[in-house]
Amino acid sequence: MNSLHQHSIALAWITALAAILIGINIQAKAQSYVSFDADPHATLPSRIDSSGRIVGLVFHLDQTYGGFIRNTDGSIVLVNYPGAIETDWLGFAASGQVAGRFMDSAYLEHGFFGPVSGPYTRFDVAGANQTSPVGSNTAGQIIGDWMDSANVLHGFLRNADGSIVNVAVPGAKTTSPEDINTFGQVAGVYTDTSNALHGFIRSAAGAYTTYSFPAGKTNASVSINDAGAVAGYYYGSDYVFTGFVRDTLGTITTFTMPGTRTSVAQINQGGSIVGGYGGIHGLRQGYLRRPDGTTVSLEYPGANTITSTTAPSGINPSGVIIGHYQINTTNNTVVHGFILTGVQ
């Protein structure tokens, strides 16, 4: 081999290595975290809208939950249904409104909606023992579960005009809605008469499309974007979590991150997915999975000890990521919220 060829190969390797190092350096510098607290004890963001508003939960020292909204100027509004023991879910609803659920003094759950500062309107599914919203969209639609007097679980969709319809996959034993997009498509899971677990998508017109999880999987969680793509994860008695994405053509692709638990929090409009990974014990980190399948690990600066956590929970159309982190040392067990930009 002549020296010129050797020099060319060496130069190629140096160039490639430099590109890798530059890429790593740029990626690390581009990630920008902002920490915030809506409560001195625990702040748990759940969703961020296109404008940058954040909604989530606070967990008080008395072991009760409340809701919060963080506005784009950084101001925080706490949301609690009057007289409730706790407010334990909150989401964006129609323009300038929020939707949520609360627990009354009898420890029964109900739904509510209204302006951020109130007053709030309570709602219940007719005949329900409990009504538990789990998702909402900017059109004012709210989805969730309701339990009848025999403690049988059902799904519901409440429209902006107040009408409520059952969400029930034909022939299913149980149906659990989990997410709703801007156009009213609902994604969730259901069990058949043999207790096998499946996923479903309900169109705005009420038609159901179903798909199945591998045999033996007993739990799953899903998210849907405005294109109709679904991302989620499933697991069985072994508690090994597997992530997946189902595209608009129905093709399912599974993926895992290091460790035994790859969870999925949300898929945004562009197909980017955020979630967490790790084991039952030890350091837990977050990730971003791009539409092309490549991934980036997410770790809040300093949350790198075996007892620390970085847990993404939402991503908006612009790629802004939210979540919570905990740097668990001897004297610090506070859970903080974070906003992350620059990862895409």
Alpha-carbon distance of 141 to 204, in angstroms, equals 11
Residue 332's pLDDT band (cuts 50, 70, 90): low
The whole-number pLDDT of residue 13 equals 34
Q: For residues 307 and 86, which has the higher predicted lDDT (pLDDT)?
A: 86
Domain 34-341 sits in CATH at: 2.130.10.10
This prediction has a pTM of 0.89
Alpha-carbon distance of 210 to 191, in angstroms, equals 11
pLDDT of 146 strictly over 80: yes
Matching residue, tokens 């798909």: 211
The whole-number pLDDT of residue 18 equals 36
Helices (H), the chain: 3-30
pLDDT of 284 strictly over 60: yes
The whole-number pLDDT of residue 36 equals 98
Q: CB neighbours (10 Å) of residue 246?
A: 22
Tell me the residue type at 316.
N
**How confident is the model over 154-163, as pLDDT tens digits?**
999 999 999 9
State the chain's mean pLDDT as an integer. 90
Alpha-carbon distance of 42 to 45, in angstroms, equals 10
The whole-number pLDDT of residue 25 equals 35
Alpha-carbon distance of 321 to 344, in angstroms, equals 10
Please name the residues in contact with 2: beta carbons below 8 A apart, sequence gap of 6 or more. Answer: none
pLDDT of 6 strictly over 90: no
The whole-number pLDDT of residue 160 equals 95
The whole-number pLDDT of residue 2 equals 39
Alpha-carbon distance of 124 to 45, in angstroms, equals 26
Tell me the residue type at 305.
T
pLDDT-wise least confident of 180-184, 259-263, 306-310: 306-310
Residue 19's pLDDT band (cuts 50, 70, 90): very low
Q: What is the mean pLDDT of residues 34-48?
A: 96
183 in Cβ contact with 207 (< 8 Å): no
Alpha-carbon distance of 71 to 74, in angstroms, equals 5
The whole-number pLDDT of residue 63 equals 84
Q: What is the mean pLDDT of residues 201-214?
A: 98
Measured between alpha carbons, how far is residue 167 from residues 131, 177, 205, 225, 326 in Å?
13, 7, 12, 19, 37
**Start-to-end Cα distance in the chain:** 42
Residue 3's pLDDT band (cuts 50, 70, 90): very low
Residue 289's pLDDT band (cuts 50, 70, 90): very high
Phi, psi of 303 (to 5 degrees): -90, 60
pLDDT of 16 strictly over 60: no
Q: What is the mean pLDDT of residues 230-254?
A: 97
Q: What is the mean pLDDT of residues 273-300?
A: 94
Q: What is the mean pLDDT of residues 193-216?
A: 97
pLDDT of 28 strictly over 50: no
